[in-house]
Amino acid sequence: TQLLEQSPQFLSIQEGENLTVYCNSSSVFSSLQWYRQEPGEGPVLLVTVVTGGEVKKLKRLTFQFGDARKDSSLHITAAQPGDTGLYLCAGRGAGNMLTFGGGTRLMVKP
Amino acid sequence: EAEVAQSPRYKITEKSQAVAFWCDPISGHATLYWYRQILGQGPELLVQFQDESVVDDSQLPKDRFSAERLKGVDSTLKIQPAELGDSAMYLCASSLQGAGANVLTFGAGSRLTVL
């Protein structure tokens, strides 16, 4: 079983602050994805990273894939209340199966 | 914009009753997934279909859960009998084959509460 550990599990910050969420594993993944999920809805894909060391930016969100393709980070600059939600990382590994981490619940207070 | 449709959105049932969830994937998506998400946790794959065939159901509790996708389009997930621990969000997702297989589109989910 390939496990993805996300940290922190919960994060409550003020609007305008920066934050970083981590996704770690002992397994190597061919690709890694980040999703955001709002209450009562399904996850929505934000980004897919496939190359070790790859960095992708989506407005105020910066995603990085570790050099060894075992970990990833999501950095949000100047967080806004609209960023509130559950952030999930998911890695595609052995058997081409997609495994999700436990999620980081982010709350951004105005 | 194309969506994955799921119904019902909410279901409350008593333990030992039967319950069924329905999913209609995006048109043309050959791959269909059923995930279970317990509150506060990440989704766990229950079953994956490629057209009408099961690709992976290793995490499906087969003594009480069943899933089918008879014509390779829509799918039904059934639980019989339901247990208290089955309370969760049941998410359906679909994707294309080949190069598009890495892009999953999720439905809004069916939230089950077992009393």
Strands (E), chain B: 5-7, 10-13, 19-24, 31-37, 44-50, 53-56, 65-68, 75-79, 88-95, 105-106, 110-114
CB of A5 within 8 Å of a chain B CB? The answer is: no
CB of A39 within 8 Å of a chain B CB? The answer is: no
Q: Is B99 helix (H, G, I), strand (E, B) or coil?
A: helix
Pairing of strands A61-65, A55-58: antiparallel
Identify the CA nearest to A47 among candidates A83, A25, A72: A72
Q: Is B101 helix (H, G, I), strand (E, B) or coil?
A: helix
Q: What is the pLDDT of residue B99?
A: 64
* Cα angle, residue A73 at apex, residues A72 and A75 outer, rounded to 5°: 160
Interface of B to A at Cβ within 8 Å reads 4, 35, 40-45, 48, 56, 91, 93, 101-109, 111
> pLDDT of A73-88, one tens digit each?
999 999 999 999 999 9
CB atoms within 10 A of CB B85: 10
Low-confidence ranges of chain B (pLDDT < 50): none
**A-interface mutation test, from B32, B41, B49, B110, most A Cβ less than 10 A away:** B41
pLDDT of residue A40 exceeding 90, the answer is: no
Residues in chain B within 8 Å Cβ distance of A88: 42-43
Instruction: Please give the DSSP secondary-structure letter assigned to residue A59.
Output: T
> pLDDT of B51-81, one tens digit each?
999 999 999 999 999 999 988 899 999 999 9
